[in-house]
């Protein structure tokens, strides 16, 4: 039953806004450090921090400095760090075999983080694009991104990451049936506690450009990803995909991009009640940073407001490049 609101002046909504202490008492949503997952980019070498020009403040780090970053994140109380590799072009092939090599960048970084910061959860990316000479998330055969053969490769990649010590597997490929195949493989291999945070509703978005620069996929990509990533016009399809992935064994689900798709976040949380995350992607981050650097907005305030929007939309957490900066502010 819809509550009755008293007429003015019996109801004065400004009473609840009169001071910070009162506003805190009635605040509906709160952002904390526990809501943050920090995506980081790993590259080969030692002692290297290489700026990503299209993402001000973001760098590619060598494995040793990724471990140091994880120590920093753990000290800030950030619960999880997510790895994305910048793979040497010479290792990109049609068969993508580097994707499941025990000694690839991601797997070396997992082990280094676990040794240096054992209390932080390590999330990985599962997709073939960092290793594919064609820049696609799946195998390309006669111009088609094929599904089932790609799923077989993704399973091998999943097991290699789990063997290296990953806590959370993040399939970002959008192939059909991959969650069920990964879950069965993890169970059969004894990795019963490895979680799957599925990129269940990942849209074919124009907001990913700076990320592709960061992982070196921009120049390699041939064509687009519209045959496997979602049409930005669709909403009901997202719910069907979320339901499928939860049924197949996903522990948590993600919507990507973030702020342009807050309506999807809200629908997913209201419909399923499952742990729901969003990715504040590179284009969103870059726009805020560019406007802040030009003095057009207050960067810190917009950063925190944008992150709070995810909580208001029903998200349990957010992957964001702002994680360390936000954590320092939230920690006071």
Could you give the CA distance from residue 130 to residue 149 in angstroms, rounded to a whole number? 17
| Active site positions, annotated | 202, 256
Tell how far CA 115 is from the center of its chain: 23
Q: Phi and psi of 73, rounded to 5°? A: -65, -40
Strand 36-43 to strand 59-62: parallel, antiparallel, or no bridges (unpaired)?
parallel
Strand 121-126 to strand 59-62: parallel, antiparallel, or no bridges (unpaired)?
unpaired
Q: Are 300 and 315 in contact (CB under 8 A)?
A: no
Could you give the CA distance from residue 253 to residue 102 in angstroms, rounded to a whole number? 26
Helices (H), ranges, the chain: 20-26, 63-76, 105-116, 148-164, 178-188, 209-215, 236-248, 262-272, 282-293, 299-312, 323-330
């Amino acid at each position: 039953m819809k509550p009755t609101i008293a007429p003015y002046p019996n109801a004065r909504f400004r009473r609840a806004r009169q001071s910070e202490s009162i506003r805190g008492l009635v605040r509906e949503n709160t952002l904390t450090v526990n809501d943050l997952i920090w995506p980081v980019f790993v590259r080969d070498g030692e002692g290297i921090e290489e700026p990503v020009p299209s993402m001000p403040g973001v760098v590619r780090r060598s494995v040793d400095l990724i471990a140091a970053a994880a120590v920093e994140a753990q000290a800030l109380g950030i619960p999880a760090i997510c790895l994305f590799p910048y793979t040497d072009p010479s290792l990109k092939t049609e068969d993508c075999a580097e994707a499941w090599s025990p000694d690839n960048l991601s797997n070396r970084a997992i082990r280094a983080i676990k040794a240096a910061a054992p209390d932080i959860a390590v999330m990985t990316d599962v997709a073939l694009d960092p290793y594919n000479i064609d820049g696609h998330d799946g195998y390309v055969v006669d111009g088609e991104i094929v599904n089932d053969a790609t799923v077989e490769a993704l399973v091998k990649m999943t097991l290699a990451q789990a063997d290296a010590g990953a806590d959370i597997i993040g399939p970002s490929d959008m192939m059909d049936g991959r969650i069920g195949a990964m879950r069965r493989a993890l169970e059969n291999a004894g990795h019963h506690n490895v979680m799957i945070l599925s990129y269940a509703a990942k849209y074919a978005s124009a907001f990913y450009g700076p990320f592709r620069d960061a992982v070196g996929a921009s120049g390699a990509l041939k064509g687009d990803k519209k045959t496997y990533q979602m049409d930005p016009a669709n909403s009901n399809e997202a719910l069907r995909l979320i339901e499928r992935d939860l049924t197949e064994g996903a522990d948590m689900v993600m919507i990507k991009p973030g702020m342009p798709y807050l309506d999807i976040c809200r629908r997913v949380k209201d419909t399923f009640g499952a742990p729901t995350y969003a990715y504040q992607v590179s284009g969103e981050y870059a726009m805020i940073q560019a406007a802040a650097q030009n003095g057009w907005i207050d960067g810190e305030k917009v950063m925190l407001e944008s992150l709070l929007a995810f909580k208001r939309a029903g998200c349990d957490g957010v992957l964001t490049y702002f994680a360390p900066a936000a954590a320092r502010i939230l920690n006071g």
